[in-house]
Amino acid sequence: MLEYDFMRHAFAAATIVALLAGTVGYYLVLRGQTFAGHALSHVGFTGATGAVLIGVPPLWGLVLVTVLAGVGMGLLGEKITQRDVAIGLVLAFALGLGLLFLSFFTAYATQATTLLFGNVLAVDVPTVWTLLALGIVSMIVMGIIARPLLFVSLQPDLAEAKGLSLRRYGVLFLAVVALTTAESAQIVGVLLVFALMVGPAAAAQRITTSVSSGIILSALLALFEAWLGITLAYYTDWPSSFWIVTLSVAVYLLSLLSTRVSALPSRA
């Protein structure tokens, strides 16, 4: 399997994206902003289609529009109670714009399908390097804001009283989420990003209550799902996105089952 260049490129891209998605996804679930990840993936489709229409690589359209949308969500939704409204407004506008772009996109049906559902087996070397660069930038930002972000996520009122800006960290985090969404779309497509970012993180938080262990476990689960999904796609000739999402759902269901079994009273 690894004798083929396209398979090595696929595994390299999947490794970069899975580790980033698992790490960022943990904070996304912890902060209760999974709707933001879902919305940004749909916003990304608007950016990608617009980029193709003007002759720009779809990845850069994804990155630009998702980052702008993420920052916009962060600026509009300073308080937790405002987040859903802000995200909904940004999503509604992006979907309307995406509908306009899609009406001009009929000549690019194959590219549209790839954007929607992903095709990791078509990733080339320049894309791998681009994903690596974006991944490094995202992880550096996450490393800088990780501790204060955890504080403002768990104790927002206390953090604000101590002088930490909820808006600043919210904007920075959603910008990182946007970059992660754009990268993940290269692997599973904009419609299935939610599974790769949220599934492993949600499973990890059910298995362990430790933040550090949870982040590591989330990243490893995402990596496992991506690698196994690509392997199964190679041997079955079924889409890799299907396998990755199926594995994500299966792992989450297993985590639910394990927590319920452990909660059952033991017999003497």
Structural domain including 124 reads 5-192
Give per-residue pLDDT as tens, 147-158: 888 888 888 778
Give per-residue pLDDT as tens, 72-84: 777 765 554 456 6
Say how far apart CA 105 and CA 23 lie, in whole Å: 34
Query: Which of 18, 46, 26, 12 has its CA nearest to residue 193?
Result: 18
Residue 267 has pLDDT above 60, yes or no: no
Total number of domains in the chain? 1
pLDDT band at 48 (very low <50, low <70, confident <90, very high): confident
Please tell me the predicted confidence (pLDDT) of residue 115: 64
CATH of the domain at 16: 1.10.3470.10
Note whether residue 211 is domain-resident.
Answer: no
Residue 231 has pLDDT above 90, yes or no: yes
Note whether residue 109 is domain-resident.
Answer: yes
Residue 263 has pLDDT above 70, yes or no: no
Note whether residue 180 is domain-resident.
Answer: yes
Note whether residue 108 is domain-resident.
Answer: yes
Residue 109 has pLDDT above 60, yes or no: no
Please tell me the predicted confidence (pLDDT) of residue 169: 82
SS3 string of 106-163? HHHHHHHHHHHHCCHHHCCHHHHHHHHHHHHHHHHHHHHHHHHHHHHHHCHHHHHHCC
Note whether residue 243 is domain-resident.
Answer: no
Please tell me the predicted confidence (pLDDT) of residue 215: 92
Residue 227 has pLDDT above 90, yes or no: yes
Whole-structure pTM value: 0.80
Note whether residue 245 is domain-resident.
Answer: no
Note whether residue 149 is domain-resident.
Answer: yes
Note whether residue 129 is domain-resident.
Answer: yes
Query: Which of 41, 35, 58 has its CA nearest to residue 191?
Result: 41
